[in-house]
């Protein structure tokens, strides 16, 4: 009799344990699914932190001939927003190397990046900006410089004998000097 009672207890215990295990498996799988979908959502939608390709041309020489990439390469697109059209060439950044790129702190800056020859890596030190400059492709990334100061563009994709000297300068000016007119 006592063995029979023990078996009943055992069976009931296992039923309850299995129900708890099923529930917790469901909760764990649901959490993984939510995290996975959230990661996909963040990558698919442009939060300004994800580098995107804005255009691809069949002729690799096309981007550097586009009107946007001529002149200073800097366009003011709004009260507090700028577009910067950046070309990497062996071994300089235009704008940036011959003349420093000047931007105000706090402005929303969208960089359009291409290459005039081979692969280069457009990286602004101390920031999250890091885009491969590809001939025929225009990459895009947005960034806001919150802290005024001097930033450096480096090439992080080996591109030949002058690669290590392929450096540009970005000067970020304080937004409003106190007491100064705007
Ligand atoms: Cu380079």
Distance 91 CA to ligand 1 centre (A): 6
Distance 133 CA to ligand 1 centre (A): 8
Distance 95 CA to ligand 1 centre (A): 14
Q: Which CATH class is domain 52-173?
A: mainly beta
Residues 114 and 140: their CA atoms lie apart, in Å, by: 9
What are the tens digits of pLDDT across the range 90-148?
999 999 999 999 999 999 999 999 999 999 999 999 998 999 999 999 999 999 999 99
Residues 32 and 23: their CA atoms lie apart, in Å, by: 14
What's the pLDDT score for residue 177? Answer: 52
Phi, psi of 114 (to 5 degrees): -140, 180
Distance 121 CA to ligand 1 centre (A): 6
What's the pLDDT score for residue 3? Answer: 58
- Model pTM greater than 0.85? no
Distance 15 CA to ligand 1 centre (A): 65
Peptide bond preceding 28 in cis form (omega within 30 of 0)? no
Residues 52 and 82: their CA atoms lie apart, in Å, by: 17
Distance 116 CA to ligand 1 centre (A): 10
């Amino acid at each position: 009799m006592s063995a029979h009672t023990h078996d009943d207890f055992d069976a009931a215990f296992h039923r309850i344990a299995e129900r708890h295990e099923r529930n917790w498996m469901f909760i764990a799988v649901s959490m993984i699914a939510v995290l996975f979908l959230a990661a996909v959502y963040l990558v698919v939608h442009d939060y300004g932190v994800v580098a995107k390709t804005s255009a691809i041309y069949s002729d690799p020489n096309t981007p550097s001939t586009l009107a946007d990439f001529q002149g200073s390469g800097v366009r003011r697109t709004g009260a507090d927003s700028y577009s910067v059209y950046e070309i990497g060439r062996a071994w300089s950044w235009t704008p940036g190397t011959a003349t420093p790129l000047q931007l105000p702190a706090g402005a929303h800056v969208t960089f359009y990046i291409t290459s005039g020859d081979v692969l280069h890596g457009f990286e602004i030190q101390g920031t999250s900006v890091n885009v491969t400059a590809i001939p025929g492709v225009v990459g895009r990334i947005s960034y806001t410089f919150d802290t005024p100061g001097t930033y450096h563009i480096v090439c992080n994709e080996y591109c030949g004998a002058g690669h290590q000297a392929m450096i540009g300068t970005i000067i970020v000016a304080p937004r409003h000097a106190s007491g100064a007119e705007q």
